[in-house]
A and B are shown apart, each in its own frame.
Chain A
Amino acid sequence: MINPVFVPTSILFAGALLQIVLAGTLSRAAKGWLAFLIATIALLAVLAMMPAVIRGDILTATWFNWDTGIPLAYHVDGLSILFMLLGTGMGSAILLYSVGYMEEETEGITRFYVLMLLFIGGFVMLVCAANLLLVYFAWELIGLCSYFLVGFWYKQRAAADGSRKVLIITHLAGYGLLAASMLIYIRTGTFLWTDPAVATAFSSGIALLMIVAAMAKSVMYPLHTWIPEAMNAPTPVSALLHSACYVKAGAYLIARMYSFGPWHVAVGNGLLVIGCVTMLVGVVFAMAQTDLKRLLAFHTVSQLGYVVTGLALGTSLGVAAGLFYAASHALFKGTLFMCAGAVQRATGTRDITKLGGLCSRMPVTTYVWLAAAASIVGVPLTNGFVAKWLLFNAALDANQAVVVVVAWAVSLITTFSFLKATVSVFYGIPSHTLRAEEIHEAAPSVQIGMGITGALCLVFGFAPQLLIQPVIEPAVRSLGFGGQIGMTWLGVLTDFGSIGVTVGAAAGLVLAALFGVGAYHLVRAPVAAHAVAVFSGGEALPDDDTLGAVDFAEMADEAFEPVFALDPDRVLFPIWREIRDGAIRVRWFATAWLERLPWVTALVSAAVLFVAVSLL
């Protein structure tokens, strides 16, 4: 009998195998429904573990020796449950979405669903494994799944190149985790991070090595450049990669490091700086995008900056903010990607300069997008607002006012960016190309998939305590932090001395809204007789001209020109060229000298060896 803690992973891996076995007998849709069913059963298995974890129990089990002396050991606590819920929950919704989305694909369907199930299974294994070697194993398993999924359309050069970048950046950085695990093993004689001896071996150097690995997975600046290139994958892949099973792996590792041992204050502060810089750089790069998925990708970079910043604060409220943000981001970013995919499927493009006016043709997609966009921006009544609010409180509580200023500024720019995207895609006048096309709303399974996650953005915005009390609090406690997060409806915090802040901010918000309405009525321009583009400032434009996303992007391009110089690819590519040129120089030396006179080389080498052996 399998221990219940192994059930989710076993179901997902067995499901992947079942997909292969039944590949020849099932239709495309049936494969999708089967994958959805498997992920849903895994989700139910995770939910079944929740009562024990809410009580504060830790579920541990060892199944068999994966390798000699390396047991397959699981340690399921509050943090594991949170990330398992993200993986299987978002995975289920995205697989449901995939049933309709992938129906038009003519080849590779079995490969797609096998990899998606392995991806989710690998993520669940990662967050449950008590053995650092198996943590690395799962870390690379999800890395490989994302590599193959990003390169799903491997006959297209862009997809193949994108997947290559994913593999190289994330795998090379992953060596940090491997080296850290080896150092812990050499110092303690065990790979089990649950062993108390690990705390004494966990140094700042080891923490930094792990952070490097986490930075690449969680797209922290400057190791984020793979993520925009990964946009050439099918949309369900982008949704899963961005929302749950990939970028959250780094956030999990950073959070889990609190279980390994105490952090040096410099490690936390360094991570805070990285988080804040990532927030800013991500959103500024997002402003300049006109490809809808690339725009969302850069927002992932920025939003993960919030998550890491919260985790780096090192207080119970900070960690709670980081974890709540991670969960919220999974919901709203997964939803946004699913909406973007629905738009791309319906129109054949994701270039926002060629889109517009889709609200009337795709109303459900529009409303779901609006809910998720409001959430990422931080509009009250959404989970994004609660997440930001929690983070601001945590930063103030930790005397990190700069974090609040940066996060607030990034939030403002995010609003501009989503205003551009929303208006350009769903409102205004459709482009000439679109006007000629027959555009339909997405398939029912697509609508349900994104509808569920979109609705949850509102549910957890209205009643965040539903997520905080059973999921976030046990996760925070499992990392050794005490205290309760008193949160009630709409994200109002009832302790940590924040009632005053909440009431003050709410009053400020109401005053600002009243001021805005008053100002609008006082100075509003005459209403134009025809539709006016949103960025014209109310000025009517000539009939043959409109302002659109390109104008906005160009403006951002010019305004943020100095920031674009921070693109790490400008450093990474020259490094690669230097390595390649160095290799060519070595080859020249080998062919011009060593291989031309092999006997001489061999004799001289033997003589040198003899001297070395005699002397050393």
Chain B
Amino acid sequence: MDLIFVGFLAVLALGIGLYAVSIPQGGRAWWALAGAIVALVIAGALTSQSRTGTICLDLAELAGVALVWSHATREAVAAARAYLYSILPAIACMLIAFALMGSGGSRPGPAVESLVVCLVIVGFALKLGLIPFYFWLPAVAAAAAPMTTALIVSVVDIATFAELAAMRQASPWIFTEHTAVWMVIALLSMFGGALLALAQTELKRMLAFSTIADLGFLLLGLVAGGPAGLSGAWIGALSHALSKVILFGAVGLAEARIGRTVTLDTSGLGARLPLASAAFIVGALSFIGVPPGFGFVGYWRIYSAATQLGGLALIGALLVVAGLDLLCYARAIHRTWLGPPQLAVAGASPWLAPGVLTVLAVVTVLLGCYPSVLTQAVVPGLLAMAQ
């Protein structure tokens, strides 16, 4: 399963790299840091559930901070600082929690258990940008180059989420004994992220907040546990990573061609950039769980686990958030990509970046149409884990 996860992230990293060849995202420093991030994440995933794995992922987070900093604009430096100020305390929280738990993630005495759980929640919430610890993510998305954000959101964050999933397996008591608190964090992120995404006018910030909402969904899958919850969280994390590369990539392509930030007032990009537009639409619909996108494969499992956990009320809450996501993305699609074109595009059209987005969009649909090709390799391992 780890190999599938690593392979998936490696393919995404390759896609990001090819895209960056076509539309430069930064200088040599950018390439060096991006390469380091990918290498550290892969090393961390291959040595997961060990100190080495944790250290690799922490270093990948710090490399992510440096990657944002490398853009050297005032906004990018401020965003990198916000990211750093979140990551450092997060690392500290996790170190203290690990120290209190001891080796093997065993359950400490009642006196320190609350502190450990609190530190784990705060640590992961800061790393993933969950509400109310989300400050760095929208700032990074707005200030950094699109593929920088894609690397952080789709590779680093998803590896961090995988670390959380591994902790769910190694120390289940952290979740099972404190389900209500985790659920509150998950629901807060889902509703807060979805509403804040809906209130944005700039597409990259909107994508950042919708990331937070989706991480809330994935967290709920982990909290619910069981075969459906765990497999839903895992598969959902993969589809999240795939969709976000497509979405940030499409927006980045548009920004590179029109020379300005894409907002809800940028009408008719689809007429000028049909491939980027199609990729964005496919990525968005998959991201919000509309079949036959890959997103649905994770979502139906999470819905099922949520129904088991909280009945009609919880699945109702999830569907309300999914509805908010739909409103948000439908507005983005129709106000930005469709309708009469308003802006001209500059320069010759690159072929590699749209090509990468098209391939990833096709993969999203293919995995949604025939998910067995992936799930039959992943789910049995997760079922064993759940038992």
Interface residues, chain A, CB within 8 Å of chain B?
Answer: 64-69, 133, 136-137, 140-141, 143-144, 151, 154-157, 160-161, 163-164, 167-168, 171-172, 175, 178-179, 182-183, 185-186, 205, 576, 579-580, 582-584, 586-587, 590, 594-595, 598-599, 601-602, 605-606, 609-610, 612-614, 616
Instruction: Give the chain B neighbours of A612 by CB distance below 8 A.
Output: 180-181, 184
B197-249 CB contacts (< 8 Å) to partner A: 198-200, 231
B384 CB, nearest partner CB in chain A, Å: 13
A584 B199 Cβ-Cβ under 8 A: yes
A594 B132 Cβ-Cβ under 8 A: yes
Interface presence of B31 (CB below 8 A): no
A182 B290 Cβ-Cβ under 8 A: no
Q: Interface-forming stretch among B54-62, B69-77, B304-312? A: B304-312
- Name 19 extra pairs, CB < 8 A, besides A155-B270, A606-B122: A133-B300, A137-B291, A155-B339, A160-B339, A171-B326, A179-B316, A185-B307, A580-B199, A583-B195, A586-B192, A586-B199, A590-B196, A598-B85, A598-B135, A605-B133, A609-B181, A610-B118, A612-B180, A612-B181
- Closest residue of chain B to A605 (Cβ to Cβ) is B132
Q: How far is the CA of A399 from the CA of B372 in the complex (A)?
A: 51
Q: A586-B196, A610-B118, A613-B181 are in contact. Are A155 and B268 (CB under 8 A)?
A: yes
B296 CB, nearest partner CB in chain A, Å: 7
B290 A144 Cβ-Cβ under 8 A: yes
B122 A609 Cβ-Cβ under 8 A: yes
Q: How far is the CA of A606 from the CA of B118 in the complex (A)?
A: 7
Size range of the interface on B?
35 or more
B122 A178 Cβ-Cβ under 8 A: no
B198 A171 Cβ-Cβ under 8 A: no
A-B contact count (CB 8 A): 156
- Closest residue of chain B to A580 (Cβ to Cβ) is B198
What are 26 A-B pairs at a CB distance below 8 A?
A64-B372, A67-B371, A133-B300, A137-B291, A154-B271, A155-B339, A157-B339, A157-B340, A164-B333, A171-B290, A175-B319, A175-B323, A179-B315, A179-B319, A183-B312, A186-B307, A576-B327, A583-B196, A583-B199, A586-B199, A598-B135, A602-B89, A602-B132, A605-B133, A613-B118, A614-B114
Instruction: Give the chain A neighbours of B327 by CB distance below 8 A.
Output: 168, 576, 579
Instruction: Give the chain B neighbours of A606 by CB distance below 8 A.
Output: 118, 122
B270 A613 Cβ-Cβ under 8 A: no
Q: How far is the CA of A586 from the CA of B85 in the complex (A)?
A: 24
Q: A583-B196, A598-B82 are in contact. Are A67 and B118 (CB under 8 A)?
A: no
Instruction: Give the chain B neighbours of A613 by CB distance below 8 A.
Output: 114, 117-118, 121, 178, 181
B304 A186 Cβ-Cβ under 8 A: yes
Partner pick for B372 among A66, A136, A598, CB 8 A cutoff: A66
- Closest residue of chain A to B292 (Cβ to Cβ) is A141
B178 A616 Cβ-Cβ under 8 A: yes
Instruction: Give the chain A neighbours of B375 by CB distance below 8 A.
Output: 67-68
B340 A156 Cβ-Cβ under 8 A: yes
B340 A179 Cβ-Cβ under 8 A: no
Interface code B321-356, partner A: CB below 8 Å = 1, 0 otherwise? 011101100100110001111000000000000000
Instruction: Give the chain B neighbours of A186 by CB distance below 8 A.
Output: 304, 307-308
Interface code B357-384, partner A: CB below 8 Å = 1, 0 otherwise? 0000000000000111001100110000
Partner pick for A67 among B178, B323, B372, CB 8 A cutoff: B372
Interface presence of B187 (CB below 8 A): no
Q: How far is the CA of A64 from the CA of B333 in the complex (A)?
A: 35
Instruction: Give the chain B neighbours of A171 by CB distance below 8 A.
Output: 290, 326
- Closest residue of chain A to B372 (Cβ to Cβ) is A65
9 smallest CB-CB distances across A and B, nearest first, come from A587-B199, A160-B338, A583-B198, A583-B199, A614-B114, A68-B379, A610-B118, A68-B375, A583-B195
Q: A137-B292, A171-B326, A609-B118 are in contact. Are A66 and B370 (CB under 8 A)?
A: yes
B270 A182 Cβ-Cβ under 8 A: no
Interface presence of B144 (CB below 8 A): no
B254 CB, nearest partner CB in chain A, Å: 16
B330 A164 Cβ-Cβ under 8 A: yes
Instruction: Give the chain B neighbours of A576 by CB distance below 8 A.
Output: 327
Instruction: Give the chain B neighbours of A154 by CB distance below 8 A.
Output: 270-271, 338-339
Interface presence of B33 (CB below 8 A): no
- Closest residue of chain A to B370 (Cβ to Cβ) is A66
Q: How far is the CA of A601 from the CA of B371 in the complex (A)?
A: 41
Q: How far is the CA of A175 from the CA of B317 in the complex (A)?
A: 12
Instruction: Give the chain B neighbours of A205 by CB distance below 8 A.
Output: 312
A178 B319 Cβ-Cβ under 8 A: yes
B135 A595 Cβ-Cβ under 8 A: yes
- Closest residue of chain B to A154 (Cβ to Cβ) is B338
- Closest residue of chain B to A69 (Cβ to Cβ) is B379
B263-296 CB contacts (< 8 Å) to partner A: 268, 270-271, 285, 290-292, 296
Q: How far is the CA of A178 from the CA of B301 in the complex (A)?
A: 12
Instruction: Give the chain B neighbours of A151 by CB distance below 8 A.
Output: 338
- Closest residue of chain A to B288 (Cβ to Cβ) is A171
A68 B132 Cβ-Cβ under 8 A: no
B308 CB, nearest partner CB in chain A, Å: 6
Interface presence of B115 (CB below 8 A): yes
A168 B304 Cβ-Cβ under 8 A: no
Interface presence of B297 (CB below 8 A): yes
A37 CB, nearest partner CB in chain B, Å: 24
A140 B199 Cβ-Cβ under 8 A: no
Q: How far is the CA of A586 from the CA of B200 in the complex (A)?
A: 11
- Closest residue of chain B to A118 (Cβ to Cβ) is B292
Interface code B168-197, partner A: CB below 8 Å = 1, 0 otherwise? 000000000010110011000000100110
Instruction: Give the chain B neighbours of A69 by CB distance below 8 A.
Output: 379
Interface presence of B19 (CB below 8 A): no
B195 A185 Cβ-Cβ under 8 A: no
Instruction: Give the chain A neighbours of B89 by CB distance below 8 A.
Output: 602
Instruction: Give the chain A neighbours of B322 by CB distance below 8 A.
Output: 175
A68 B330 Cβ-Cβ under 8 A: no
B297 CB, nearest partner CB in chain A, Å: 6
Interface presence of B5 (CB below 8 A): no
Tell which of A155, A182, A584, A587 has the most Cβ of chain B within 10 Å. Answer: A182
Instruction: Give the chain A neighbours of B30 by CB distance below 8 A.
Output: none
- Closest residue of chain A to B329 (Cβ to Cβ) is A167
Q: How far is the CA of A440 from the CA of B326 in the complex (A)?
A: 45
Q: How far is the CA of A274 from the CA of B85 in the complex (A)?
A: 57
Tell which of A154, A587, A601 has the most Cβ of chain B within 10 Å. Answer: A154
Q: How far is the CA of A598 from the CA of B131 in the complex (A)?
A: 12
Instruction: Give the chain A neighbours of B371 by CB distance below 8 A.
Output: 66-68
Interface presence of B303 (CB below 8 A): yes
B330 A616 Cβ-Cβ under 8 A: no
Q: A68-B379, A168-B327 are in contact. Are A140 and B291 (CB under 8 A)?
A: yes
Tell which of B290, B322, B371 has the most Cβ of chain A within 10 Å. Answer: B290
A582 B326 Cβ-Cβ under 8 A: no
Instruction: Give the chain B neighbours of A614 by CB distance below 8 A.
Output: 114
B342 CB, nearest partner CB in chain A, Å: 11
Q: How far is the CA of A614 from the CA of B122 in the complex (A)?
A: 14
B198 A616 Cβ-Cβ under 8 A: no
B196 CB, nearest partner CB in chain A, Å: 6
Instruction: Give the chain B neighbours of A160 by CB distance below 8 A.
Output: 334, 338-339
Instruction: Give the chain A neighbours of B85 by CB distance below 8 A.
Output: 598-599
A128 CB, nearest partner CB in chain B, Å: 16
A572 CB, nearest partner CB in chain B, Å: 12
Instruction: Give the chain A neighbours of B184 by CB distance below 8 A.
Output: 612
- Closest residue of chain B to A171 (Cβ to Cβ) is B326
B365 CB, nearest partner CB in chain A, Å: 10
Instruction: Give the chain A neighbours of B180 by CB distance below 8 A.
Output: 612, 616
Q: How far is the CA of A144 from the CA of B82 in the complex (A)?
A: 40
Instruction: Give the chain B neighbours of A172 by CB distance below 8 A.
Output: 323, 326
- Closest residue of chain B to A133 (Cβ to Cβ) is B300
Instruction: Give the chain A neighbours of B231 by CB distance below 8 A.
Output: 68
A268 CB, nearest partner CB in chain B, Å: 22
- Closest residue of chain B to A595 (Cβ to Cβ) is B135
Instruction: Give the chain B neighbours of A590 by CB distance below 8 A.
Output: 192, 196
Q: How far is the CA of A69 from the CA of B232 in the complex (A)?
A: 14
A155 B196 Cβ-Cβ under 8 A: no
Q: How far is the CA of A579 from the CA of B304 in the complex (A)?
A: 27
Partner pick for A579 among B133, B192, B198, B334, CB 8 A cutoff: B198
